Chains A and B, each alone.
Chain A
Amino acid sequence: MQIGSPAFKQNAHDALGDVQLQKALGNVRRGFIDKRKKATDRLPEFDALRDEAKRIKDHTLSHLDFYLEAYERKVTASGGRVHWAETAEDARNIVLDICQAARARSVTKGKSMITEEIALNDFLAENGIRPVETDLGEYIIQLRGEHPSHIIAPAVHLNKEQVEMDFRRVHDHLPVARDLSEPEALLNEARMVLRKEYVTADVGITGANFLVAETGSSIIVTNEGNGDLTQALPKVHVVVASIEKVVPTLEDASQILRVLARSATGQETSVYTTVSTGPRRKGDPDGPEEYHVILLDNGRSSMLGTEFQDMLRCIRCGACMNHCPVYHAVGGHAYGWVYPGPMGAVLTPSLIGVDKAGHLPNASTFCGRCEEVCPMRIPLPRMMRNWREREFERRLNPAAQRFGLRFWAFFARRPRLYKLGAGLVIPFLAALGGRKRRLGWLPLAGGWTRHREMPAPESRTFMQQWRDRETLKQDAGR
């Protein structure tokens, strides 16, 4: 897909003025947070499971080479085939080869962020193969020629009236007078239309939530059942997954599954958790005749061993964006590439370069909620700061910003001078704030004060107040 991340500022500006989008984003703010809280409160072991989930992924990542080899051996032993793809282009070509060998005319797809990352749909279409998204949200945005705005709720930026218009436009073989005013009617129509697609597709493509080294299995979780129909009905099943999806054993997958659904949708578990291992066995009455796995690197291996390795623990639950004030304000499309929200702000620069995605790690208030709710305890704010540092080192941010940072750093490294300067500036700003204690104007910060007032500082500096506090404490202790 086209990279829109460099235009983040303009995208965000447009998103804030988009009435439909702002209405739809209300659903994120209202729904996800409460549901997650209820589910996690109900499970006393939730935090212990988070620790365990983190340990499992840390262990796997530090032994990733061996686990990938073990996984490959088991897939092969169960009659499946593993393909290794260094880049998005490699992965696309492998998928195309498999589809062409199967003489595929249409492929059904389970919801998969990784196939968004490799921009598979456009590529297949260019090569005469019709891709059909089967997850309801993905289906809707495919009809609109859009990309997901959320990693687990791809159409969360839309309202039902918009969906109705698209269904009327595309399903033009159905009676015009039909009632589509309620979501139930829209769901039933999609169910009916997609039923035919499942049965006629030659290849089914899914992602994977986990790959299990012990058994050579891929695991997917869905609520709709679309992933299962996608992988059970066509004669070829292709799994596209990135290398960090591997976990050692079924127990390890189970541990992480417990934090996944609760963090994502606030469910105790997803409706369908499916473990797939190889093609149909002798005597099986159904299931695919071929089972392929494409292991994609596409930049992951270069995150290993760096300050961004922790990001490879991510299980794509979406909790970070569900709790992010920036995501709540601008939605997912503003981020300009596949992965939005805090996880996108860290992952996108790793995958497409900080030169293109530098705005994303800057689009954060550092409120820390993303790290607080992350089931895999990924230090997202710290990694956004790491990206800001890299951006500064590579001189990618604007001159004025660099000057400002240098100016501040000059004083920050000279505590006496800093104290002296702060001692002069703080009372001045406090006085300027007046009785309202608000500043409507600040030198060099017009961009901030144009839309809101800045709270004026207390009349004394932080250091002064701290000293007073400590003195008081000592007096009290005496």
Chain B
Amino acid sequence: MSGRDAILGRVRRALGADSDDAMRLQAVEKRLARPPKGVIPARGQGSAAEKLHLFCTEAEAVHATLVKVRGPEGVPAAVAAYLRAKNLPAELRMGSDRRLKAMPWQRQRSLTVRYGASDGDDLTGVSHAFAGIAETGSVVLHSGADNPTTVNFLPEHHIVVIEAKDIVGDLETALGRVRRKFGRGEMPRTVNMITGPSRSADIEQRLLLGAHGPRSLHLIVVEG
């Protein structure tokens, strides 16, 4: 007997589960098809302006930095300003995401942009978020041909562009949007929910930023 049959057999015996199989299976199928929503914290359920405000407050509370720009064409200048303020070289790594590519990077003369996955030698990476979560100040990113996961983790500094209209109140709504985009039960290879820069408190419970992932997380919120 395979490990699979042995384990499932033991589980069924322990649950006393041969008589009411049909009913139990029905309960399972129903829940998978129509997930109950559960308890959603009220704090993220305000107006769009309140959601944006909460998103910013929560993100900054966990040491993300944040700047707002008007329209996507303002992003490259905001990125260049951030690099200058941090005294970083004018070099970026990003995926070939359409929304990022459409931005006027060429206007930032000295800026070098490399496209594709990160090889670990990039100091600064730029990603475009799929959604933001107001209740925790998190950004949601998903992998795909134009969105390498390595850009989210290998660079020392991670800049994430998020459109204000993509900020939702709660985690369930954000994952619901992933589901709508990819279809029920289908997922991209990875969905990353990122809340602040990398950290560790493993030495004497002292909080230190920049453990293995980016040392800083900079959010550029695009309004209008």
| Residues in A lying within 8 Å of B, measured CB to CB | 24, 27-28, 30-32, 43-45, 48-49, 52, 56, 59, 62-70, 74, 78, 83-86, 90, 134-137, 140, 153-156, 158-160, 163, 183-184, 186-188, 191, 194-195, 198-199, 213-217, 223-226, 228-229, 232-233, 243, 248-252, 254-255, 257-258, 265, 267-281, 283-287, 295, 297, 301-302, 304-306
> Which residues of chain A come closer than 8 Å to B189, judged between CB atoms?
276-281, 284, 287
Can you offer 17 A-B residue contacts whose CB atoms are under 8 A?
A43-B43, A59-B31, A63-B24, A134-B212, A155-B202, A187-B203, A191-B210, A214-B184, A224-B198, A225-B213, A232-B153, A233-B150, A243-B11, A248-B31, A250-B178, A255-B38, A286-B143
Could you tell me which residues of chain B, from 176 to 224, have a CB within 8 Å of some CB in chain A? Answer: 176, 178-179, 184-206, 208, 210-214
Partner of A214, one of B11, B135, B185, B211: B185
> Which residues of chain A come closer than 8 Å to B205, judged between CB atoms?
27-28, 30-32, 153, 156
Specify the chain A residue showing the minimal Cβ separation from B191.
A275
Cα–Cα, bound, A183→B204 (Å): 8
Could you tell me which residues of chain B, from 20 to 60, have a CB within 8 Å of some CB in chain A? Answer: 24-25, 27-28, 31-32, 35-43, 58
Q: Closest Cβ of chain B: how far from A232's Cβ, in Å?
A: 5
Q: How many B residues touch A, CB cutoff 8 Å?
A: 84
Q: Closest Cβ of chain B: how far from A372's Cβ, in Å?
A: 20
> Which residues of chain A come closer than 8 Å to B89, judged between CB atoms?
none
> Which residues of chain B come closer than 8 Å to A84, judged between CB atoms?
2-4, 6-7
Partner of B28, one of A31, A52, A63: A63
> Which residues of chain A come closer than 8 Å to B143, judged between CB atoms?
280-281, 284, 286-287
Given contacts A275-B191, A287-B143, contact A66 B152 (CB under 8 A): no
Q: Please tell me if the beta carbons of B38 and A64 are within 8 angstroms of each other in the complex.
A: no
Q: Please tell me if the beta carbons of B175 and A66 are within 8 angstroms of each other in the complex.
A: no
Q: Please tell me if the beta carbons of B120 and A163 are within 8 angstroms of each other in the complex.
A: no
Q: Closest Cβ of chain B: how far from A239's Cβ, in Å?
A: 13
Partner of B195, one of A90, A250, A269: A269
Specify the chain A residue showing the minimal Cβ separation from B142.
A275
Q: Please tell me if the beta carbons of A302 and B28 are within 8 angstroms of each other in the complex.
A: no
Given contacts A287-B189, A302-B14, contact A228 B153 (CB under 8 A): yes
Given contacts A90-B3, A305-B16, contact A187 B210 (CB under 8 A): yes
> Which residues of chain B come closer than 8 Å to A276, judged between CB atoms?
189-190
Q: Please tell me if the beta carbons of B208 and A187 are within 8 angstroms of each other in the complex.
A: yes
Cα–Cα, bound, A376→B116 (Å): 42
Q: Please tell me if the beta carbons of A215 and B185 are within 8 angstroms of each other in the complex.
A: yes
Q: Please tell me if the beta carbons of A86 and B204 are within 8 angstroms of each other in the complex.
A: no
> Which residues of chain B come closer than 8 Å to A44, judged between CB atoms?
41-42
Q: Please tell me if the beta carbons of B185 and A74 are within 8 angstroms of each other in the complex.
A: yes
Q: Closest Cβ of chain B: how far from A445's Cβ, in Å?
A: 37
Q: Please tell me if the beta carbons of A226 and B212 are within 8 angstroms of each other in the complex.
A: yes
Given contacts A252-B35, A301-B7, contact A136 B62 (CB under 8 A): no
> Which residues of chain B come closer than 8 Å to A224, judged between CB atoms?
198-200, 211-213
